[in-house]
Amino acid sequence: MPILHRRAVAPMIALGALAWSPQIAHAEPLTEPASSAAADAPKPNDAASTYSPSTKASPATDATKAEVVPTKAPERKVSLEPKQVEVAPTGRTTFDIDPIADSAMIAVSLGFAGTLELVNSTGEIRPQQISSDFDTSKLIAIDRGVVRRKPDPNASGYSTIGLGAAVAFAFIDPILSGMREKSVQTGLADAFMYSEALSFTMAMTNIVKMAVRRPRPIAYIDAAQHQGETGYTNTSTDSALSFFSGHSAITATVGATATYLAFARAPHTARPWITLLIGTAVTTFVSIERVRAGRHFPTDVIAGSIAGAGIGLVVPHLHRTEEIKQRRIWVGFAPLNNYEGERGGLLNVSGMF
């Protein structure tokens, strides 16, 4: 019995020590050196040591979340339209060309003008007949003298030479502009503007001619020579296409476009004034020769010159811009040799289409 009693007392002492041990640990915590405690103490800027589930997000985190732009926000939209890349230099004017839209307008205008020319060439449109008892004194005062004198047979050729010179300048001037500006883009822009202005003028001229169908002065002269002949009939469709003069309109278009571009690119030089004088002189020369040839009345060439000059000014003005934008098209050329040693090249045109 004494042995069993001593064995039972030992577990009881052990259980009592375990029961009192937490109180002893809280009452007498282990102390560490001061330097070690200071090193392990949480710092004010230490986010890891102060983080807890109940801690709120820091201001930096809130700012990051605020900078996130929604996917459907307007500023996140992607556009292929050219943006301004730099401000145009003071005193310099730039021109913006859309190859797709401008090419379409040129093609439509030329197609329309060409179709009307084909219709006129068939002779299916009956020209307006001049009455045998028509009094030419009823014509506009400045037009009366044309039907009373004999047409000059060489004047028509002179007017065609003047027209050809104006059209040739429309082809050369874009090349000269590109060389002066040292920019292929400038040359292409001028070529588009000249082409667009000329195509508009040709289409408008043919439409007005077909709508008005005014007899030419030579038709009045021919009718006067056959006065009294009952069987005489004018069958030439071209004899009733006097208003307005296409030669004068096209020449004035080239002169006006060249003058506008010269004033825009070299405003403080003599070049724009020289261009204006030459353009006016050529247009005047062509207009006078068309009247001397008996092909048009003075009012025809005046109206044609006004229409052509108006189109020649409006077209480049609508393309004018004060910003230098990204290129819509890029043109590159690389010289190449084939396997036979013949020289050639590769022309590359790319852009936004």
pLDDT of the residue at 87: 55
Residues contacting residue 295 through CB under 8 Å, at least 6 positions apart? 151, 156, 159, 216, 217, 218, 242, 245
Residues contacting residue 170 through CB under 8 Å, at least 6 positions apart? 194, 198, 254, 257, 258
CA distance 161 to 158: 5
CA distances from 336 to 218, 224, 280, 345 (A): 58, 67, 45, 5
| H-assigned helices in the chain | 2-27, 34-40, 47-50, 59-66, 99-122, 155-181, 184-212, 217-225, 246-265, 271-292, 298-318
Q: How sure is the predictor about 270, in pLDDT bands with cuts at 50, 70 and 90?
A: very high
pLDDT over 90 for what percent of the chain?
49
Residues contacting residue 257 through CB under 8 Å, at least 6 positions apart? 170, 193, 194, 197, 312, 313, 315, 316
pLDDT of the residue at 55: 47
pLDDT of the residue at 345: 76
Convert the pLDDT of each residue in 172-216 to its tens digit: 999 999 999 888 889 999 999 999 999 999 999 999 999 999 999
User: Two tokens at 287?
Assistant: 């207009």
Q: Quick one: DSSP state of residue 269?
A: S
Nearest to 98 by CA among 271, 321, 313, 332: 321
User: Two tokens at 242?
Assistant: 């006097």
Q: What is the largest CA-CA distance in the chain?
A: 172
Q: What angle do CA 84, 86, 90 make, to 5 degrees?
A: 120
37 pLDDT above the threshold of 60? no
Contact (CB, 8 A) for 289 and 156: yes
- Where along the chain do its domains lie? 88-327
Nearest to 304 by CA among 194, 206, 210: 206
CA distance 89 to 68: 37
- By CB atoms closer than 10 A (0-12, 13-18, 19+), residue 129 is middle
Convert the pLDDT of each residue in 77-136 to its tens digit: 665 555 554 555 555 678 988 889 999 999 999 999 999 999 988 888 888 888 877 888
Contact (CB, 8 A) for 191 and 178: no
75 pLDDT above the threshold of 60? yes
